[in-house]
Structure formats: C-alpha cells, structure tokens
Structure 1
Amino acid sequence: MGKHNVNVLTGVISATGEAPREPAGKIEHGTAAFWQTNFALFAAGFATFALLYCVQPLMPLFSADFGVSAAGASLALSLTTGLLAVSMLVAGGLSEAWGRKPIMVASLLLSAVLTVICAAVPHWSTLLFMRALMGVALSGLPAVAMAYVGEEMHPRSLGHAMGLYVGGTGLGGMAGRLLTGVITDVWGWRAAVLVIGLLGILSAAVLWRCLPPSRHFVRRELRVAPLVRAFGTHLRDGVLPLLFVEGFLLMGSFVTVYNYVGYRLIAAPFSLSQTQIGLIFAVYLFGIVSSTLAGSLSGKLGRRVVLPATFILMLAGTAMTLSNQLWLIICGVTVLTIGFFGTHSVASAWVGARAQVGKAQASSLYLFAYYMGSSVIGSLGGVFWSLRGWHGVVSMACALLLLGLVIALWLYAMPAQAARQTADVGSLK
C-alpha cells in the first residue's frame, strides 16, 4: 500500500507518511468559543441518551397496554440499539463527505421528531418501526461528535471537552429514565415520551445555533477500501477482539438488569410507582464518578489489573439484587452501575490505546459490539424472565459476567511482550 498516514479519528489515509501539522486557530479551554462549543455538545449528548433510554422504565407499561411479553417490550430499546450499532459503522464515513455539523444536527433533530411520533402511534408495530428508524437516525451524532472534537479542539483542551460530552451522555441517560418515570405517574407514558421528544428538538436547535461550523474539516470522498482494511487489521489483532467481546458482555448484562428490574419492582411485594422506579436510576451519578476513578486507577495499576476488579464488582452487584430487601436491591443496582461504568471506561480506553492506526474504526467496532450486546442480550433476558422470573435474569447476567471475568483474567495473564507483537504502544501495562 506504500507509505501512508492514517488519521486516527477518521481512518482516512493521506499520501505521505508525515504526521499532519497542528492547524492554527483551534478552540482552547477558557475561551468563549470553548464554552459555547461544549454547551452545544453537552446538550447534544444529553438529548441523545435521553431519547435512546427513555423507553427503558416504560417496558412494564408497554406489556400492559399493548399485550406483549417482557421480551417483546424490550424490542422498543433493542431494535434501536441494534440498528444504532450497525449504522455507526458507516455514519462516520458519511460525515467525511457531507460534513460534521450537518450530520449531527440532522441526526438529533430527526431522532427527536421520531420520538414525538412514538408518543402518538396507536399500534405496537408502528412504535417499534419508529424506534428502529430512530436507531439509524441517531447513529450520526455519537459517531461524528468525537471526530468533531478531535478536529476542532486544541490538544490541551481535548480531554476536558470529551469529558464534558461524556458527562452529558451519562446525565442524559439518567434524566431520560428519571423524567420519564415522574411524568408517567402524572400524565401517562405518552406524555412522558412527548416531553423527551420536545427536549430533543430543543437540544437540536441549541446544537444548530451554538456549535461553531467546522474550521479544520476537509471534505473527502467516501472510500470503502481503507475502512475495510482498518477493520480487518483490528480483527486480526491479538487483544482487540477480546476487548470487543468484553464490550458485548458488559453492556448486555448491564442493560438486561436495568430492562427487567422494573418488572420486579412494580409488582408485589414492592409495588413501586414509576416515579419511585425512576429515582433508582439516579445511581447513574455514582457510575459517572466511578468511570473517572477507574481511569485514574488503571493509569497507576494498569488496565489488566483494574479490568477483572470491575467485572467482580458487576458480578457482586447483580447477585445482590436477588435479595427480597428493597434497600439491598438498590445497593446491588448501585454496585452494578459503579462496576459497569468502570469496566466500560477501562475497556474503551484500552481499545484506543491498543489501536495504532484507524482508531476511529477500532472504536466503531467496540461500540458495535457494545450496542449489539444491549440489543441481543437485552431482549434475550426477557425470555429468562418469562421462564424463571428474576432468578432467571440474574442467572443469565451472572453467566455473561463470569465469561467476561475469565477473558479479563486471560488478558491479565497474557505476557506483555506477546501483547506488543502486533501493537507496540497499545500494550498491556
């Protein structure tokens, strides 16, 4: 292929082997442009995950209103995340030809409009169709936001900007669940979905108005061959495929518990309201803090030391939810959430460090596996719920987490020298 340079965020190959020079005029921390840009990205990340996860606490109501099983109700989320996973593989490439900001604004606006439509549809099949379309539409924002930040932010401000965006996504996931629960108790689930959709439209307006146009984006023709080569390189790596599997397992088990815990808590002996169930999702705040702590610990102790520990936390938290004491169930969900955010933080950072070329494609493969875990395992959990109730859900989730722990221990035992054979810098610390 000759000597080429690969852009780490877009995977685009240039004709020379020299690293591109740092363009002047990038956005730096402390400037008005920095806060304006991050306000727009924070709003976009918040809305993205609120739109995505607002249906999760509503699954028991979907079962009651539409007469579908728990597994059937889970399709309201699983179809969205499944198509999101597939679409993210190509959304970044499309933005190379069409531009960053137009893709992000159109993605968020269309997703919000589809959510508003979901609030009014009379039939279950129509709601699922709207949610499936939303998975395709929504892929344009998370896939492109990282590329925009990497291009427009000064390297000294990159970490801060990305942290604000990720914080917005975490708070959006929590608020989408919490706000939906509160509004549902007062006005019903359709009003709750409508409010989330309108917030999404407002966030799209903020994104359009406040996000500066790309100054360092260079429009390129979409090229499939370099993308395919980058995917192939990552899949042949000695470590990356194991991390992709870890993403599948950790997200699948986490979403399974969150999907069906509402079915357990809304029934006797707990008989919680939608607002009370929604308040439980406030434990997301602990998870957001734990992701930062896990990143710090992995820098001191090494990723292959921290990763098994976070899987053990997820296992312990899941097992705690078997209790018949409400306070212990809430503690279990909290421990699971802390472990999940820590595991995801370590695994995703490991992917970025391991991939030496085509970092965007490596991240896309990880996110593909991550969201496919949510889609496939999240729906499969409904079968276990129907067969054995909460014990079935916990048994399935624990089996997956045990497999994830085995892989983490395998990575821990892998000699560092062997791990460096295909990627010198992305080593096992």
Structure 2
Amino acid sequence: MPDADTRAPAPAAGARTTESPAPAGTAPAAGPAAKGRVPAAGTAAGTAAGTAAAKAAVTAEERLLPGTSAYRRAILALFAAGTATFLLVYATQGLLPAISAEFSATPARASLTVSLTTGALAAALLPVSTLSEKYGRLQVMTASVFGAALVGLAIPFSPDLTTLVVLRALQGVALAGLPASAMAYLAEEVSPRALAGAVGLYVAGNSLGGMTSRLAAGWIAQWTNWRVALGVLGAASLLCAVTFLLLAPKARHFTPSPINPAALLRTVRGHLGNPLLLRLYLLGMLFMSVFGSVYTVLAYRLTEAPFHLAEGVIGSIFLVYLVGTFTSAVSGRLTARIGRRGSLYTGIATVTAGLLLTLADSLTAVLLGLVLITGGFFTGHVVASGSVSGTAASGRAQASALYMTAYYVGNSVGGTVGAGAYHSAGWNGTTAVALLAMAAAAATTGYATWRARGGRRAGANRGAEP
C-alpha cells in the first residue's frame, strides 16, 4: 500500500508505488526500484541508476498488449472473475418475496440477505486491498472467487433465515478480494496504452454478472424454487472461478510490499479530512442508497396488486440495468459539456423524476421510472467515482477503496431502510426515503456550487487588490 506521506509526485490513477518516503532534504526516488538519494550524473552509482531506469522502461514496454495471447488470457480471466463476483453479490435480490414466504420474514429481515452481503464487502475492501499488496493480486483474487463460490454452493442448504444471512455476509467478505485487487492487477500487467480497454472489458463482466444473476434467478425460481436458483448461480460462479484460475497469466510486475498499518491509517485519515473527497463519498453513498432501495423492494411491489407478476417476469425487468451501460458511456461527454456539478444535478433530477413516476399504478410508468432511476444513478456514480482519483493528491488506491466502501454501505443502508419503509407504508414509504436521499444529494451538490462560487469571487477580489 503506498505510503500517504511519500514526497514523490503522486502516481497516475491505478498505479502503485513501493518506495519508502524520501528523507527530508533529499531528492525523491528516481523510480519504483530506487530508494534513497538519486545518484549524481556521471558517477558509477548514477550509471547504475540510469541502467535501472532503462530496464524499467523496457519492462513497461513488455506489458500485455492487445493481440497477444497473454493479453487475451488476462482479459478473459478477469471477465470470468467479474462475472462470478456479481453473479453472487445480488443473487437474492430478485428472490426476496420467495425467501420471505418460506421463512415468514418481513421484507426488512429478508433484505438482510442483500444488505449484509454488500455491507460485509464494504467493510473488507480496505483490509483485503492491503493483503493484496503483500501476498499478490492473483493470490487474493483466486482466494476471493473460489471462497465466494464455495460459500454459494452451501447457501441453498440454509435451514433458516439466520444461517442464510450469516453465509451471505461471509460471502460478502470473500467477494471483496476482486474489486480490491483487479484494477491494481490490470494497471501493473497491462500496457498503459491498452489499460482503458482492459478495464472496460472487466467492468462489462461485472455488468453481465449482475444482470444475469437477477434474470436467471427469477426464471429458475419460477420453474423450481429459490434454493435451486441460488445453487445454479453458485455452480456457475465456481465454473467462472476455475476459468479464471486456468487463464490468468502469472503476475510479472508485482513487487510485494510489507503491510504498514500506520501508513494506511495516515492515508485514510488524510482522505477523510479532505472536504471535497468527503462530499464525493457522500454522493456515491446517497445515489447507491436509492438504487439499492428501489431494486431491493421492486420485486415485492411487482408481485402484489395491481401487477401480480411472476418471478421470471420480474427477473426480466432487471434488463433495465442495461440502461446503465449506455449512460456510463455518455456520462463523460455530458460532463465535458455541462461540468461535473451540472452532471450531478442532471443525475439527481433524473432519479427524482423516475421515483415520482413509479408511484403510478401503471406497469408502463413503473418501467419508465426504473429507466430514469437507473440512468440517473449511473450518471451520478460515474461522475462521483471518476472525480475521486483526480481529487486525491496521493494514495489514490485508498481513496478509491474508501469511495467503494461508501458506495456499498449506501447499498446496505438503502436496501434495509427502503425495505423497512415498504413494510410500514408500502411503495410510498420506499419512495419517500429515496426522495430524501436525493434531496440530501442536491443539498450536497448545492453546497459545493456555493463554495466554488465563493472561491472564484474571493480570487477575483484578490486579483483586484493593488
């Protein structure tokens, strides 16, 4: 884990450093392999340093490039691992009415099978990312996907809701290894020229897994029951894990670094003391709380009057999730045109309009509302998450991990609170909770706008002074 107090220039997003902080009064290290002072040019040490730098440049050129067998294997391996992970994260989301019926559980209690999974994942992200710095990205990812898949095979045999919830929480801890390590593995092993495409394919695997999980679970449960549905997803994730193990190329550019809890704590404290980062974390949490709330409770609403939809049909409605793929692709252009805060306002307004539409007892209105909620959520999420690395001056990996922690905490809280509101006041209650979250997001963005305008005015006044 990069030290927070290193005096070297901040690395690019996704890069990792292993050097120790340079002592006060010395020049920073010349490269990842150098430590201490930079040798003067013309000395033997300086020649050695130049040779090391040249070797580092050659090594960078030897990283994986599109068209090579190793690159294809790496991408397919990460695609399989991403699919396995997100097959499991939301596996019970579309099955909550059936789980409630079998265990005579309220929506709030049944929703813990989703909320505690994402909550445990969030809590494990930082510790697991630290383990990957010492033991290796591939080792952590392999343990993650296999551990989560094996727990997934045990889950269908849960005798009661408590056992089911505990196993799902353990699964969340296991699942943390992939998001904590995958981006770092790609940044280290793939050529910078091909990194954006590689990350895009990895994210595509995440999306495919998340959508397939909801779609397949609904139809399989309709034909059989929820236990068989979860068993099939567990078996599919195990096949993906085996694919990952067989295909993933050996890491050639990973350098282990010791676990340094004090440095990690300094980095985290520094990020949590940054007001702009805190606002971005809050926005990610608020957007995800609405998304988690709506999609967790949706199945309950659509199985009841006036809709009475079957589980398979409800699972098919999760195809709306594909709207997020399109929205994510155009969010960058939208931000370039109207700015970061303009895009956030657009996302907030879109989600709010979608929530109001879902209040109607019309399936068409509900579906259109879900399209708007999904599109608005991804707009806000892409802007907030993309701003984190640019805001953090150092420790970008930890800054991103903290954002993902807030993101999954938002899902956990939103799902549980939204389900509780539904149990107490129906869909109107869930919508009211979600609208409050969007009001808080609007207030947070409005405060940022006010601060920015105040800063510009202060700068103009200083410039006018003699």
Normalization by structure 1: what TM-score? 0.94
Asked if 1:94 is matched to 2:131, the reply is yes
- Preserved CA contact (<8 Å) 1:83 1:136: yes
Query: Among residues 444, 448, 451, which one is paired with 1:407 in the alignment?
Result: 444
**Which of the numbers 14, 19, 44 marks the counterpart of 2:19?**
14
* 2:7 corresponds to: 3
SS for the counterpart of 1:141 is helix
List runs of 5+ in structure 1 lacking aligned partners. Answer: 422-429
Shift of the 237–317 alpha-carbon distance from structure 1 to 2, 3 Å rule, reads same
Q: Cα distance, 1:27 vs. partner?
A: 0.8
Matched residue of 1:174: which SS?
Answer: helix
* Residues 170-208 of structure 1, C-alpha deviations (whole Å, 9 max, x = no match): 121111000000101111111110110011100111111
For 1:237-276, list aligned pairs within 5 A. 237-276=274-313
Structure 2: how far apart are the matches of 1:343 and 1:36? 33
Query: Are 1:215 and 2:220 an aligned pair?
Result: no
Q: 1:154 aligns with which of 160, 167, 191?
A: 191
Secondary structure class of the residue paired with 1:220: coil
SS in 2 for 1:415: helix
Q: Which amino acid aligns with 1:214?
A: A
Match of 2:238 in 1: 201
CA shift, 1:3, in A, is 3.2
Question: Match of 2:263?
Answer: 226
1:351-370 mapped onto 2 (5 Å cutoff):
351-370=388-407
Measure the CA separation in 1 of the matches of 2:279 and 2:145.
Answer: 32
Over the matched positions of the two proteins, sequence identity in percent amounts to: 38
2:348 equivalent to 1:311: yes
Shift in Å, 1:19 = 5.0
Q: How many residues align?
A: 420
Which residue does 1:59 correspond to in 2? Answer: 96
- The CA RMSD over aligned residues, in Å, is 1.8
| 1:330 alignment partner in structure 2 | 367
User: 2:463 maps to what in 1?
Assistant: none
CA distance in 2 between partners of 1:278 and 1:19 (Å): 51
- Distance, in Å, in 1 between the alignment partners of 2:189 and 2:294 is 38
1:11 and 1:357 in contact (8 A); partners too: no
The corresponding residue for 2:85 is 48
Match of 2:45 in 1: none
Q: Which residue of 2 aligns with 1:108?
A: 145
The equivalent of 2:412 in structure 1 is: 375
Cα distance in 1 for residues equivalent to 2:10 and 2:134: 17
Whether the 8 Å CA contact 2:331–2:379 is kept in 1: the answer is yes
Tell me if structure 1 keeps the 8 A contact 2:10–2:393. no
Per the TM alignment, residue 284 of structure 1 is displaced from its structure 2 partner at its CA by: 1.0
SS in 2 for 1:239: helix
Secondary structure of the residue aligned to 2:305 is coil
Shift of 1:10: 6.9
Offset at 1:31? 2.3
Structure 1 residue 284 and structure 2 residue 288: aligned? no
Larger Cα-atom Rg: 2
TM-score by length of 2: 0.87
Given that residues 16 and 184 in structure 2 are in contact (C-alpha distance below 8 angstroms), is that contact kept between their aligned partners in structure 1? no
Partner of 1:70: 107
Q: Which 5+ residue runs of structure 2 have no aligned equivalent?
A: 23-27, 33-55, 459-466
After superposition, give the CA deviation of every residue in 1:361-383 in whole Å (9 maximum; x if it has no partner). Answer: 10011111110111122111122
